[in-house]
Amino acid sequence: MARNDLQGTLDLLVLKTLSQMGELHGYGIVLHIQRASDELLSVEEGSLYPALHRMEMSGWIRSEWKVTDTNRKAKFYRLTPAGQKELQSAEKSFEQLVKGIRAILRYA
């Protein structure tokens, strides 16, 4: 049975983003998800930061204060090996979720 909730989906989006982009700050993650999904998905700041803090506490991501291209100080996040593993299992369970939902839609 796949673990499925909205939080899990947000985690998946953030982890995938970081694995593709390497290192990114919170605002960058918001922009990337928006852009990569063709504006279909928008992550709310109110959900993003608690999720980032929680994932950092769980040891999936690591953070570091750095200076951006535009010369601003920002907190950059990057994936840890544990996060890499978590991403794989999150992807797998998302596939199952999608399969399951699709099956139900087809049945109906």
Partner 1 sequence: MSIFRRVVNTFSRSKLHQEIDAEIQSHVEMRMADSIAAGMSPEEARRDALIRFGNRVVMRERITAADAATVLDAFGRDLRYAARQLRRSPAFTATALITLIVGIGANVVVFSVLNALVLRPLDLPQPTGLYNVVHQQPAYDNHSYPDYVDFRSKNSTFTDMAAYRIDMAGLSRTDAAYKCWYYKVSGNYFDMLGVQPEHGRLFHASDEHGPNSAPYIVLSHDFWRRHFDSDPRIVDATVDINKHPFTVVGVAPAGFHGPDLFFWPDFWMPIVDSPDPEDTNFLSNRGSHNLWILGKLNPGVTPQQATDNLTAIAQELARQNPADDGLSARLVKPGLMGDMFGDPARSFLAGVMLLAFLVLLAACANLASLFAARTADRSRELAIRLAIGSSRWNVVRQLLSEAVLLSVLGGALGTFFSTILLNGLTRWQPFPEFPIHVTVSPDPKVFLVALLLSIASGVLCGLVPMRQIWATDSAQVMKSGGGAAIVLRRFTLRDLLLGIQITLCTLLVTASLVALRGMQRSLHARLGFHPQGVILAETDLHMGGHSGASIMPVRKRMLEEVGRIPGVTSVGIIDETPLGTGGSTSPVYREGTSDFRMSNSAFGARFFSISPGYLQAAGTRLLGGRDFTWHDDAKAPNVAIVNETFAQRMAGNTSALGLRFALGEKYSYEIVGVVENGKYESLTETPWPAMFFPLEQNPDSDTSLVVRSPLPTAEIVPELRRTLAQIDPSLPFVFHSWPDALAFVLFPARVATAALGVMGLLAAMLAVTGVFGMAMYVVSKRMKELGIRVALGAQAVQLMRSALSRPLILLLSGSSAGLLLGVMASQLLAQIVYQATPRDPLLFAAVLTTMAVLGLVAICIPAQRALRIDPAGLLREE
Residues 34, 43: contact at Cβ < 8 Å? yes
> What is the DSSP code string of 88-100?
HHHHHHHHHHHHH
Q: Which is nearer to partner 1, 45 or 95 (CB)?
A: 45
Smallest gap, in angstroms, from Cβ of residue 74 to partner 1?
5
Q: How far is the CB of 102 from partner 1 (least distance, A)?
A: 33
Answer whether 29's CB lies under 8 Å from 48's CB: yes
Nearer to partner 1, 8 or 96 (CB): 8
Tokens of 76: 């950059």
The span from the CA of 95 to the CA of 105, in Å, is: 15
d(CA 85, CA 74): 26
CB of 36 to partner 1, least distance (A): 17
In the complex, the smallest distance separating the C-beta of residue 101 from partner 1, rounded to whole angstroms, is 29
42 or 105, CB closer to partner 1?
A: 42
What is the distance, to the nearest Å, from the Cα of residue 4 to the centroid of all Cα atoms in its chain?
14
Residues that bind partner 1 (CB under 8 A): 25-27, 44-46, 49-50, 53-54, 56-59, 68, 70, 72-75
Q: Which is nearer to partner 1, 3 or 49 (CB)?
A: 49
